[in-house]
Structure 1
């Protein structure tokens, strides 16, 4: 079979060589704009040899004619199908050739091209830096198109770090307000990006409308690549609707197509959602199979995305259930490597995006408003008033946040002191509960409708005592029903006993036990304090860090992170 494939390839390239002279002759009749359109048509349809041939001819023609602008465009076209190191050399040549070119196209365009190259190769730090520089020069040169392109590209980064609402505003604007800024290819990219944002934001009806519109566009243009992209988005849409089998069928077909076309970044996302779909069907083996393929592809390409964190924790949990220590250790190591890269990128982007993009945009908007309203006194005063109110609101929220943080720290300090005092006095002594006067006890008993026999109550209380002393409340997945089953009683008896004797409902009882435990352990156990919050949450029985944080705040009045920080501060002092 491999020999047959090799023969076919040789024949194809022989035919290509024989046809070369004819192609060059036909290309010589085309203008630069026509050559460029032809290049992007081939590139968009994944016809790599043809697009490379056009790019090479374009550059030769420009050099022969000593046309600096078109030489620069030739370098741009040449970089598209090259590996990263070669592509970056072409962009460096682009920088050199455009250094002395007058006009409003460069250097903004060079920075945007470099930004796209870094983005494609998962270096979002340098991608953002180049986009910001591109935006800066585009604005200085009043270039509306390139300003728009910079904003679109930065919107992709916003979407990547989870700020989908902000990104969707940009994408939606250019989908519905093209204004001669986006061509058909770019307009299609904006639609795809907007669909992704809508899916993440659970605006599924809006996403579905655009998916159907995109599928019609791909069908009309006979574009298999776009057709598969919309099939992929349709599969993710079905997954969100829990139509797992339909999602698997669509995503499997797309996976085969992208595998054959060597679209690695697309393959990664397809494998991720295939795994999620199989997980939806409770088919862990198939889910893990796809996640392992995804990890293998990540190692080849080093292209990461935030959802990989849950991929690795899923694989680790799977092998933990199988008691396969070697696989556990291997994927823990893989998780740590990927997590480190994601943390570095996220920390940089989360810091630099507001500083370099959001704040300058706000300041620019402010300047535009002031300039625009100079001759409209009434509107100007209104705007200043609004800005003043906003500023006062920001100041108020700032000081309120500081006050809240101070209160949280004080609560945390008091908690730490009370725990340290209790441990110092007696590590084993339980807090005595003052008995109510006989008359008050009688009144309480009269108010409580007792349906649980006394011997059953005594039995349940004894079991609850064991449940607390053995710290069984730390196990994940405890519910009223499964605890009742375990201690051989029914849920009604257990619920009433907890309500009457613990004076709280079962969920509050369970959360209080866990939070009391974690409060003390964090003070005593330095290693435990070093865990990330998701790991601490899992250790004490919570499914996710959000549930843990809510329970902690409700019980203590402060947050886990502030509590841990105050413990560390108290240790230093």
Structure 2
């Protein structure tokens, strides 16, 4: 009954607004209507914004203006929830399919990508951004190329590639003439400041935050002002000014929660981290519990959720509340699967669909530039000579590298054979010698934040992980390993960094490569497998990842290493 009442109330309010303002709206042109819509939308006056968009669409249809009808669909989709919003964007695509010019269909794909991004379907968002970028490049529309690149940079930042994303945001922040409007320009600054915080460029982040807070545009816009309050709070959290951070983040949370904006989850996470650093468990759990409630309601996730659920699970495990512990384990598994799926897809497709085409485009631009500056014949001859020189250079370089790789492989084989022989003959001595350095290492290294008993427990679990070769399982992540050994990612990461002198990824790769080096020498059947099979056997998803890890660890390639083993046996 309540829902029916609310729907009727919304309908009559909308009708009243439309009827009371209809005469004044008739006096406005499309640009003025759009400006009026933006004012209402940015002020979170959704009812008024929706009425403006409906009038805009009705006016355009009545005048049979295709481009303005498309813009009407664009405006009205911003006021609707996902299913209906998607239908309006599809209507926009349909009405513009025969429109000539350099705007469509690229614009429709970019808008659809933004819609998917807003509702946390990052796979679909990337696919639409890529299509938008491809059409923009074909149509040579500089503005839309910029919009597509900026949106893809948001995905890069989400993936943790903040250094790469910062390059894009900085470029468009400093080269935005006739590309971005005042709002978009400010969002570039917000995004750049965020990236700088994440990559520890503290002074640069502080500069752009202060510039934003002093901006006249930001001062008159509550939403933007609170974005900078959130960033300033994050910066103070990063620099351990916890009380200042809490004050700023609380103000930002009060605003974002009042308009039910997804930014409230990011603010809650930062507040929780502040109290975690202050060792206030109750406040940390309060904020992290709120995050889970919002995520459950909206199904909008973010990468730091893994940390949120780890803290909640550990807390209720320690307090003996099995029911809540089980609940948050279940929530963690659901969220982690979604995050893992998105990360896997984006990490592969961003490179394949975005980075590689950009390199090819860069190459094409260089060739075109040469053609424009010189005559066709001169350019062609120059390129041929260059290719020939490069071919010669790479030929000799390849031969030299191949020789070096063979030598490395031979040395590795001799070392492994010698080590295996010594292991058989001096097993007891080897065990004693192997134990002493570990003991010395653990004595010489100190953990700053991990309690000693927890550190020893994790080290023991890591020994089991190594000795039982659990590292050969596919899909191991820092999060999954932390869960298996019943600790959190922060503790596990610190132990690995401190005791193994490497990060988690390097640690996992080194275990796998050291295993495969030994196994290839020992096992003829294993050596006969194709490289993709070997890669799968030791936990890699594809042969490329295996080859990269192998070369990084050894300096040679798997194929050369196997060939040299066969040579040494036959010789």
TM over 0.5: yes
Contact 1:529 1:564 in 2 (8 A): no
Contact 1:91 1:114 in 2 (8 A): yes
Aligned to 1:439: none
Q: Distance in 2 between matches of 1:138 and 1:277?
A: 43
Correspondence 1:25-36 to 2 at 5 A: 25-36=23-34
Contact 1:522 1:528 in 2 (8 A): no
Correspondence 1:296-375 to 2 at 5 A: 296-374=293-371, 375=373
Q: Distance in 2 between matches of 1:365 and 1:384?
A: 17
Aligned to 2:134: 136
Contact 1:274 1:290 in 2 (8 A): yes
Q: Which of the residues 152, 155, 161 maps onto 1:154?
A: 152
Question: Could you report, residue by residue, the CA deviation over 1:271-300 in whole angstroms, capped at 9, with x for unpaired residues?
Answer: 110100111111111111111110111111
Secondary structure class of the residue paired with 1:230 = helix
Question: Could you report, residue by residue, the CA deviation over 1:220-266 in whole angstroms, capped at 9, with x for unpaired residues?
Answer: 65211111111111111111111111111111121111111111x20
Question: Could you report, residue by residue, the CA deviation over 1:425-475 in whole angstroms, capped at 9, with x for unpaired residues?
Answer: 99xx675769xxxxxxxxxxxxxxxxxxxxxxxxxxxxx99x98xxxx89x
Q: Distance in 2 between matches of 1:363 and 1:351?
A: 18
Q: Is 2:513 the counterpart of 1:562?
A: yes
Q: Which of the residues 111, 118, 135 maps onto 1:120?
A: 118
Q: Distance in 1 between matches of 2:418 and 2:155?
A: 41
Q: Distance in 1 between matches of 2:39 and 2:404?
A: 54
Aligned to 2:539: none
Q: Distance in 2 between matches of 1:394 and 1:36?
A: 60
Which has the larger Rg? 1
Contact 1:412 1:558 in 2 (8 A): no
Q: Distance in 2 between matches of 1:335 and 1:158?
A: 23
Instruction: Tell me how far 1:394 sits from its aligned partner.
Output: 10
Q: 1:332 and 1:74, CA in 2 relative to 1: closer, same or farther beyond 3 A?
A: same
Q: Is 2:37 the counterpart of 1:91?
A: no
Contact 1:219 1:227 in 2 (8 A): no
Question: Could you report, residue by residue, the CA deviation over 1:329-366 in whole angstroms, capped at 9, with x for unpaired residues?
Answer: 22222111111111111111111111111111111111
Q: Distance in 1 between matches of 2:408 and 2:340?
A: 25
Q: Which of the residues 234, 238, 241 maps onto 2:239?
A: 241
Q: 1:158 and 1:543, CA in 2 relative to 1: closer, same or farther beyond 3 A?
A: same
Q: Distance in 2 between matches of 1:252 and 1:405?
A: 58
Question: Could you report, residue by residue, the CA deviation over 1:200-228 in whole angstroms, capped at 9, with x for unpaired residues?
Answer: 01111111111122122266652111111
Q: Distance in 1 between matches of 2:509 and 2:14?
A: 71
Q: Distance in 2 between matches of 1:33 and 1:393?
A: 63
Q: Which of the residues 446, 464, 468 maps onto 1:522?
A: 468
Question: Could you report, residue by residue, the CA deviation over 1:168-210 in whole angstroms, capped at 9, with x for unpaired residues?
Answer: 1111111111111000111111111111111101111111111
Aligned to 2:554: none
Instruction: Tell me how far 1:73 sits from its aligned partner.
Output: 0.7
User: What number of residue pairs does the alignment pair up?
Assistant: 500
Q: 1:432 and 1:146, CA in 2 relative to 1: closer, same or farther beyond 3 A?
A: closer
Q: 1:38 and 1:14, CA in 2 relative to 1: closer, same or farther beyond 3 A?
A: same
Q: Distance in 2 between matches of 1:43 and 1:408?
A: 68
Q: Which of the residues 536, 548, 554 maps onto 2:496?
A: 548
Aligned to 1:57: 55
Correspondence 1:236-275 to 2 at 5 A: 236-263=234-261, 265-275=262-272
Deviates more, 1:119-128 or 1:27-36: 27-36
Q: Distance in 2 between matches of 1:162 and 1:408?
A: 38
Instruction: Tell me how far 1:548 sits from its aligned partner.
Output: 2.4
Aligned to 1:446: none
Contact 1:408 1:562 in 2 (8 A): no
Q: Is 2:286 the counterpart of 1:289?
A: yes
Secondary structure class of the residue paired with 1:82 = coil
- Can you give the 5+ residue segments of structure 2 that lack an aligned partner in the other structure? 527-571
